[in-house]
Chains A and B, each alone.
Chain A
Amino acid sequence: MALLEIKGLKAYYGQIEALHGFDMELEEGEITAVLGANGAGKTTTLRAICGMVKSSGTITVGGENVVGMSTEAIVARHKIAHVPEGRGTFVRVTTEENLRLGAFTRRDKEIEKDYERVYHYFPRLKERRNQQAGTLSGGEQQMLAVGRALMLRPKIMLLDEPSFGLAPIITEELFNILGQINRDEGVSMLVVEQNANLALDISKNAYLLETGNVAMTGPADKIMDDEQVRKSYLGY
């Protein structure tokens, strides 16, 4: 059984149905990419997993349905760390306090040690540890968002357009680190991306969303070779 299983997922913004009932799976320890144009429902899918939009259908994490649970409970109980669109930085507190907040639901004594774990992946954050987070650059804030997610010691990381607004070289660095985190820590990842090439590179499987439905699914390399996908999303 997959770690995360979505069945017949529908999601609503008020009266409007944004997802029309689809299935999706994320295997333990794997990276899965979710691709699609603007408005296809990628972000909504991630938000539904975290209980941030009204939804129906089932989303099971480790065999337990989380639809209807509060965001706080899903995060605390199932160790799902969401790196949101726009990074969700707590701008008025320091870098290290942001990391501390990432570990808010943890009660163990290892939190202090985990700062070093994050700084190992992102040495830049260590230099900025006492700086107000709002003054970090876009790339640094994205690293901070991933670092904050790591502080939860997550089983699943949901990444919403981590490349958004970043220089190509920073994006590449970030995706390398994401791949490394996946290998070292065994964290499963669901990555939503406009930059399909990068996402497919580090992913094992991929889903292609079109206006609230799954248009195509399969191993990442197959999807990458598909002519239609190449024309529409990869641009060559």
Chain B
Amino acid sequence: MDLFIEQTVSGLSTGAIYACLALAVVMIYQAIDHFNFAQGEMAMFSTYIAWYLMDDAGLGLPFWVAFVVCIIISFIGGAAIERIVFAPISDAPVLSHIIVFIALFSMFNSLAGFLFDFTPKQFETPFGHTALIDGVISAHRAGMVAVTLVMLGLIFVFFRYTPIGLAMRAAAAAPDSARLVGIRVGFMLALGWGLAAAVGSVAGMLIAPITFLTPDMMLGTLLYGFAGAVVGGLTSPLGAVLGGFLVGILENWMGTFVVGSQLKLTVALVLIIVVLLVKPAGLLGRVVVKRV
């Protein structure tokens, strides 16, 4: 029973990371109808920036200062990627988008290795690693969940209650109508990319103390994030967040009690396939009917 509780709680904490990535993926998916395959690598690169800001060989800033600066840099970077790379090809076919995603993926991956080398780096945590509540959860994992929940709450309030959040939703859902009420759709898309990149950077900075910082640290994590997004529903940000947590817990249960830890990653893939076969819209997503 102890093992079960422990695995569930630790699943919740990694689930928080998946929830962040799933949310980032869904935010971009809603705007441009495609999965951003490079979301994980963008997050990884942001984490390297944070590492550089903090490390003694870099700028040596305190954790929370680096944390905030990194979020800001990631936001600007994400918005810039939309403006420079995606705005010009907004009318291009799906395949062009996918190629660009793959290009971004390998660019960020190689660039991180080139700039910061491939040896795994230790990433500092402000929470420490002491065990809490009889060893059920480490301080860092508890902090991870707390930070994620605060951030998700802020994002929810932003989209739900501010005019600019409303305008972003409108621009993503119905760009032509949005222009007709005077919303600068391109600006809103860039803002969406910036937010997604910022959310991803938080996920990266929180998971890095557990996985160590390497250019490949996000590969598996992003797959779980995708699974979370698909399970929750690609059209529902709330669904994506819930899906992320769910995948985190399922991953641990399956890994500990059913398939063993070597096959954990397979769980994510199987989950994606099963959901797409059985309930393609996901838990909270809606079926989108398109006229052809």
Contacts and interface: CB of A to CB of B under 8 A. Distances in A.
A100 B167 CA distance: 9
A102 interface: yes
A10 interface: no
Given A84-B176, A84-B177, A88-B174, A93 B166 contact: yes
A75 B181 contact: yes
Interface string A21-63: 0000000000000000000000000000010100000000000
A224 B182 CA distance: 36
A72 B183 CA distance: 6
Given A93-B166, A100-B163, A104-B167, A152 B182 contact: yes
A84 B174 CA distance: 12
Interface residues of A, number: 24
Interface string B159-188: 000010011011001101111111111000
B180 A104 contact: no
Contacts of A102: 181
A104 B169 contact: no
A92 interface: yes
A146 to B, nearest CB: 13
A76 B173 contact: no
A105 B179 contact: no
A52 B176 CA distance: 9
Determine the interface band of chain B, counting residues with CB < 8 A from chain A. Answer: 10 to 19
Contact of B179 (A71, A89, A91): A71
Output the residue of B176, B178, B180 with the most chain A CB within 10 A.
B180
Contacts of B174: 88-91
A88 B163 contact: no
A84 B179 CA distance: 11
Interface in A83-108: 84, 88-93, 97, 100-102, 104-105
**Chain B contact residues: helix, strand, loop or mixed:** helix
Contact of A90 (B173, B179, B182, B184): B173
B166 A100 contact: yes
Given A93-B166, A97-B166, A104 B173 contact: no
Interface string A130-168: 000000000000000000100010000000000000000
Contacts of A71: 179-180
B180 A88 contact: yes
B176 A88 contact: yes
B81 to A, nearest CB: 22
Contacts of A72: 179, 182-185
Contacts of A88: 174, 176-177, 180
A75 to B, nearest CB: 4
Given A100-B163, A100-B166, A101-B167, A91 B180 contact: no
Contacts of A152: 181-182
A104 B185 CA distance: 12
A104 B165 CA distance: 11
Contacts of A104: 163, 167, 181-183
Nearest to A50: B180
Given A100-B163, A104-B163, A90 B170 contact: yes
A165 B215 CA distance: 56
A81 B185 CA distance: 17
A200 to B, nearest CB: 26
A93 B167 CA distance: 11
A50 B179 CA distance: 9
Contacts of B182: 72, 75-76, 104-105, 152
B146 to A, nearest CB: 30
Contacts of B163: 100, 104
Contacts of B173: 90-92
A107 to B, nearest CB: 10
Contacts of A100: 163, 166
B29 to A, nearest CB: 14
Output the residue of B167, B170, B185 with the most chain A CB within 10 A.
B170
A192 B200 CA distance: 47
Given A100-B163, A101-B166, A90 B177 contact: yes
18 contacts: A71-B179, A72-B182, A72-B183, A72-B185, A75-B182, A84-B177, A84-B180, A88-B177, A89-B177, A91-B173, A93-B169, A101-B166, A101-B167, A101-B178, A101-B181, A104-B167, A104-B181, A148-B181
Interface of B: 163, 166-167, 169-170, 173-174, 176-185
